[in-house]
Amino acid sequence: MRRTATKDSTNRENTLVRMFNGEQLSDAEYAYFSCPKEALNSLKNKASPLGIAKVQGGLGKHYDFTLGSTRGELKHSVSKGTTSDVLEWQPWLDGVQFLQGQTKSKNAQPFIGGCGLPMWTAWFTEEVLPFAVAEVPAAAGMTFDAYYKCASGMSVTQKQTSTPAGKFILALRQNAELAERLRLRWIAFEERWLPVNPLDHAAFETRMRQVIEEKDVWIAINKTGAFWIEGFSVLAVTFEGCEKKRDGGCIFRYSITLQKKSGGQTNKVPIAFKLHWKNGGQAVQNLNFMVI
């Protein structure tokens, strides 16, 4: 059976910590990582003076392990091979993202602005409800609250299957052509909504500082090597604008000015905020934000 991405990540974090603590790894454990064995072993010299390694993570934490008092984050890619000079200032680049969550989540509320509940409400009123009336008769009587709860989930619960909202989501999951028609409406809606409903930029900067500055070191591993990268202080986060994506929809562009925690050199690098439905296809279920 194929391992899940979550299990792979857990295996890598646990194995890295064991290696930092001086344990010998098996060939099977080295195989968790895409880099050459020698590259992984080279990290031990950096880690050994810092103290005992422990796996961390969990709610409210934005780092994967500690080495004494040093907080570390592991980013791993199976297929990418970004060079060390680029990763030195963007160690998250080969990973999926360095921050994500549901648009309705408590942590998102300070910065999500018009891309939270106001967007959900407009999406339902302007697009979902007319679409349901025309295309999914079984969804007659669907309310916003019921749709919001069902569409925010990862699946349709047994209790929801007999409700108008549950029937609507199930219809989308069972009919690819129907789901595609709603996806096209989502793209058009996103292109209307995002340009005039930005995030709370000040609150977004605060969140970026929290996420990035909690990490004292990044371990970036890809097929070319394993790189130990000093963490950053965030000097500024600047909104650069709302931009259309190549395949439709919109993305918020930011630049972030970083300085190594030891001081000295600074650099400005791009980041982006986008919306992505994680379950059932776009415009179906579980709307998340991603910062990449």
The predicted structure's pLDDT at residue 96: 64
Q: Which pLDDT value is given to residue 65?
A: 92
Q: What does the alpha-carbon distance between residue 190 and residue 249 come to, in Å, rounded to a whole number?
A: 5
Q: What is the pLDDT of residue 1?
A: 31
193: amino acid identity, one letter: W
CB 229 within 8 A of CB 269: no
| Segments of the chain scoring below 50 in pLDDT | 1-3, 59
CA distance 237 to 257: 6
pLDDT of residue 230: 96
Question: pTM for the complete prediction?
Answer: 0.87
With H, G, I as helix, E, B as strand and everything else as coil, classify residue 165. helix
pLDDT at 8: 81
